[in-house]
């Protein structure tokens, strides 16, 4: 599952995403953080704007990225999916290095687990979530993972 995240909303860089996933985000550090205080979320991976890849949860373990969700008739997507967060927002394009890292990660996961079914958070939780948003280039991702890399 492909997601988009920025903390505070619309801001990139800094330690806030790490702190959210590690359960150490200070609710007093930003007004938005009070709204998400106590939220327990995690993801398997985050890809920063510069393409840096961070893994928080092993792929064989459940991460808490999907929330109330359904994909192709199966509920509780956290039980059977890998969450990949891209540092970004619905109203800005994702960065070139993010697509490169994402394609490499998807190819690695496909080599390990077999063919993958790619979906966005908006696909598994329509009406509730909008990420990765209209700026995410699905065709570019699909083309880049179909092209063998040496």
Q: Are 85 and 65 in contact (CB under 8 A)?
A: yes
- Tokens 């909303």 belong to 9
Catalytic residue, chosen from 75, 85, 87, 96, is 85
- 85 has catalytic annotation: yes
126-146 per-residue burial string, b: 16 or more CB within 10 A, e: under 16: eeebebbbeebeeeebeebbe
Q: Are 5 and 87 in contact (CB under 8 A)?
A: yes
Positions annotated as catalytic residues are 85
């Amino acid at each position: 599952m492909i997601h988009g995240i920025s903390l505070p909303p619309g801001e990139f860089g800094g330690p806030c995403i790490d702190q959210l996933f590690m359960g150490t985000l200070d609710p007093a550090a930003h007004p938005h953080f009070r709204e998400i205080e106590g939220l327990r979320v995690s993801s398997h991976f985050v890809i920063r704007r510069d393409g840096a890849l961070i893994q928080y949860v092993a792929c064989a373990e459940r991460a808490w990225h999907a929330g109330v969700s359904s994909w192709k008739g199966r509920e509780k997507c956290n039980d059977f999916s890998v969450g990949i967060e891209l540092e970004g927002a619905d109203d800005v394009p994702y960065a070139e290095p993010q697509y490169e890292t994402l394609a490499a990660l998807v190819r690695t996961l496909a080599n390990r687990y077999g063919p993958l079914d790619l979906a966005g958070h908006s696909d598994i939780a329509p009406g509730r979530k909008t990420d990765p948003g209209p700026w995410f280039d699905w065709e570019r991702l699909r083309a880049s993972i179909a092209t063998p890399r040496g």
